[in-house]
A and B are shown apart, each in its own frame.
Chain A
Amino acid sequence: MTSDLASVSTSPVSNGATGGPGPRSGRWRRAARRWEAALVLVLVAVVLFGAAESSTFLTPTTFFYLGTDIGYIAIMALPMTLIVMTGEIDLSVASALGLSGAMVGYLWHHGWGIWPAVLVALAVGALGGAINGVLVAKVGLPSIAVTIGTLTLYRGLAEVLLGSLTVPAVGDRPFPTSLTNIGVVPVPGTHMSYSLLFFLILAVVFGILLHATPLGRSLVAIGLQPEAARFVGIRVNRIKLVLYIVSGIMCAFAGILLTLQNASVSYNAGYGLELNVVAIVLFGGVSIFGGRGSILGVVLSVAIVGALEMALTQMNVDPNVQNIVTGVLLLLSVIIPNGGELVRRVRARMRRLTPGS
């Protein structure tokens, strides 16, 4: 997704295409820190709000449920962050989750062992990601269009695999309890669910990758200045391809986790979640234009979104109101950082309009 209208500033010479790394990226790093600080405060506010409105909010059980409810979604947000930072998008994440889950179910239904089934599902995820990556990076098709296509295709393949079946079906073995326990038993010694643990571990890995490796810096460069990045020898196409493959594998992993958590799978697992993932990433301060964002911001965003949903459900707030809140938060997440600049621009516009036009 390259820059759209909003990148056009009043002084046309300076826009996203000029200038290089250096003082600009320093300014953006500071902006990121500020957004993260704001997110921390919002998280505190949400937790206080939840505690005030529901007597069961600040309990270990809530924390466990938070993990199972949002863990698998959050895992998909990590590669999405990297993809959005390079200026692309992946709307097929929820369908990849569904397809991999469906593959596990299909193979299990046909008598396979769980580990071979899981391996095949991960391979399917990687393959799906590779298809996205090839079409976007090698063929050069726009990622929003390609991933809308694969969103439909992968969900469709999930439907081909399972049809109206829910696995385990009548006559199937139940999934191994040692694995399905991740949905009901916390990590020993803590109240954390396994899904949340996996997410946190992966977040650390992705965080180090993004913020402390040359690869991570390349990603930022690709997002800010794709042509310049190419000229300095960054293998843009290869990196994008790899990112999509990683996304596919992560979504497959999320699909496997969801299947085991629920001890069951049908073809519509994860249906409709892609926009939730995008919203979480954007709310985490990742710029839709690419080049700006942090894993910490996304982790905080996951925490806020998860905690808010828990609080609102415990308060029995209508889920549609919850959707409205999500929408408003998303809006605020882009308006507020631009706050000062916006006011200045609007004032400048007013001033230009008044001397009779």
Chain B
Amino acid sequence: MSAHVESGAGPISWLGRAGALLRAREAGLFLLILVVVAVTTVHNHDFVGGQSVQQLLSGAALIALLSVGETLVMVTRNVDLSVGSVLGLSAYVVGDLFRDHHIPVWSGFVIGIAIGAAAGALNGFIVTVLRVPSLVITLAMLYVIRGVDSLMVNGNTIDPSSIPSAFTQVGYRTILGVPWLAIIVAVVVAVVGYTMRSFRSSRELYAIGSNPDAAVLAGVPVGKRVFTSFVISGTLAGLAGTLFLALHAQVDNSAGSGYELTVIAATVVGGVAIFGGSGTVVGAALGALLLNTINQALVASRISAFWNEAIAGALLLAAIGIDRWLSLRMARSLTSAQGAHRDV
């Protein structure tokens, strides 16, 4: 186990150094995004037009949102595989309510978020009270929720004509060229990120992931914290479902299908450790942005469509490897600087 020394317990100087290196991590991701954009622009000079940047931001928005919630869960050494199915369920139910019950726009958001929160609470309950491993419960939920969603959809789609245009505006409107979608996600990232750094209750999440037994001994209310992390993950998935509906204005039973693996990939690329204890939501969001940029860059650079997936997979592996190399370097530099024991 390599050292997980980010924003956790430790003397101020450690914090300062760790903070600086962390900033280097997120900055590194941002740099990588710029590199991808630059390389693609060489092939295709129009890649950096105004439209393209908007597309890059709005295309990554939903996955980034899901990655924020997933980060909270992964930091505590758990995983949430049900996020894609929850997104699909929330998108369909809200769309159905618009179509058949003509609910007001704002309640669409409220209901979507509530559905996500309920699913998250169920996951959290089963993990904390019933002590079911999160991989298993969220995998089971992936099947169950997708199945329930498909039965509800029953072959009907939600069509654009059923959705009030005031609602779909959220999907494409921009302010000063920045899509609303991106702004919403950025706000969520900022709020959650700030909370994670500054509030004791959220920093306890890192403690839980680093060393569950020590956390219990230190009096951390582990159950409550983990439960909350699942509720937040579910809530953000529900919000993402509502935004999906706004963006695409059509939903069938496959909405959100397969997203969970992309989300995990995004968080890992963004520096969130699978084994818990480290990682930031900003990093996860940037990871999502990087993956989407790569996907769009591949299409934009006019490489044959058949190569997209292979290249994406190779880049993902590279990103995971680089992440590991960076964290090893950080651990080594911290160890040598402080002369402290590394906890292996």
Task: Answer whether A5 and B226 are a contact pair too, CB < 8 Å, given A15-B213, A159-B306.
Answer: yes
Within the complex, what minimum Cβ distance (angstroms) separates B216 from chain A? 5
Of B127, B139, B261, B273, the residue contacting A6 (CB under 8 A) is B127
Contacts of B226 in A (CB 8 A): 5
Tell me if B264 and A8 are in contact (CB < 8 A): no
For the complex, count residues of B whose C-beta is within 8 A of A.
57
Specify the chain B residue showing the minimal Cβ separation from A322. Answer: B147
Kindly identify, within residues 109 to 151 of chain B, every residue whose CB is under 8 Å from any CB belonging to chain A.
126-137, 139-144, 146-148, 150-151
Is there an interface contact between A328 and B310, defined as CB atoms closer than 8 Å? no
- B316: chain A residues within 8 A (beta carbon): 148-149, 152-153
Q: Is B16 an interface residue (CB 8 A)?
A: no
Contact A12 to B217, CB < 8 A, known contacts A323-B143, A334-B133: yes
Within 8 A of A (CB), among B202-221: 208, 212-213, 216-217
Specify which chain A residues have a CB less than 8 angstroms from the CB of B136 in the assembled complex. Answer: 282, 288, 330-331, 333-334
The answer on a CB contact under 8 Å between B274 and A142 is yes
B311 lies within 8 A of chain A by Cβ: yes
The answer to the question of B97 belonging to the interface, with a C-beta cut-off of 8 Å to chain A, is: no
- The reply to whether B143 and A151 contact each other, CB–CB distance below 8 Å, is no
Contact A320 B146 (CB under 8 A): yes
Q: Which of A39-47, A103-111, A133-141 contacts B (4 or more CB under 8 A)?
A: A133-141
In the complex with contacts A153-B317, A156-B310, A327-B144 CB distance below 8 A: yes
State which of A179-187, A201-209, A231-239, A338-346 sits at the interface with chain B.
Answer: A338-346
Residues of B contacting A156 in the complex (Cβ-Cβ under 8 angstroms): 307-314
What is the CA–CA distance of A341 and B130 in the complex, to the nearest angstrom?
10
Contact, CB under 8 Å: B151 / A140: no
Q: Using a CB-CB cutoff of 8 Å, which residues 285-324 of chain A contact chain B?
A: 288-289, 318, 320-324
Question: How far, in angstroms, from A269 to B310 measured CA to CA in the complex?
Answer: 16
CB nearest neighbor in B for A349? B129
B273 contacts across to A, CB distance below 8 A: 142
Residues of A within 8 A of B213 (CB): 8, 12-13, 15, 17
Question: Pick the contact of B131 from A1, A15, A328, A338 — CB < 8 Å?
Answer: A338
Chain B residue with the shortest CB-CB distance to A161: B306
Which chain A positions have C-beta within 8 A of B99? none
Query: With A and B bound together, what is the CA distance between A328 and B137 in angstroms?
Result: 9
How far is A157 from B312 in the complex, measured between Cα atoms in Å?
A: 11
- Chain A's closest residue to B311 (CB) is A156
On whether A342 and B130 interact (CB within 8 A), knowing A12-B213, A148-B316, the answer reads yes
Least Cβ distance of A108 to chain B in Å? 19
Asked if A215 is at the interface of the complex by the 8 Å CB criterion, the answer is no
CB atoms of A141 and B147 under 8 A apart: no
State whether B309 touches A4 (Cβ < 8 A): no
B17 at the interface (CB under 8 A from A): no
A326 CA to B136 CA, complexed, in Å: 12
Q: Which residues of B contact A345 (CB under 8 A)?
A: 131
> Given A5, A327, A341, which contacts B208 in the complex, CB threshold below 8 Å?
A5
Within 8 A of A (CB), among B247-274: 253, 261, 264-265, 268, 273-274
How far is B143's CA from A145's CA once the two chains are assembled, in angstroms?
Answer: 21
Q: Is the CB of B268 within 8 A of A145?
A: yes
Least Cβ–Cβ distance between B153 and chain A, in angstroms: 9
Closest Cβ neighbor of B307 among chain A residues: A160
B132 touching A334, Cβ below 8 Å? yes
Does B25 touch A at the CB level, under 8 Å?
A: no
Interchain CB contact under 8 A, B317 and A320:
no
Q: Are A324 and B143 in contact (CB under 8 A)?
A: yes
User: Does A38 sit within 8 A of B, measured CB to CB?
Assistant: no
- Between A and B, 6 residue pairs with Cβ closer than 8 Å are A4-B78, A4-B276, A5-B78, A159-B307, A159-B309, A330-B140
- Having A4-B134, A148-B265, one finds 7 other A-B pairs with CB under 8 Å, namely A4-B78, A153-B317, A156-B311, A157-B310, A324-B143, A330-B140, A334-B136
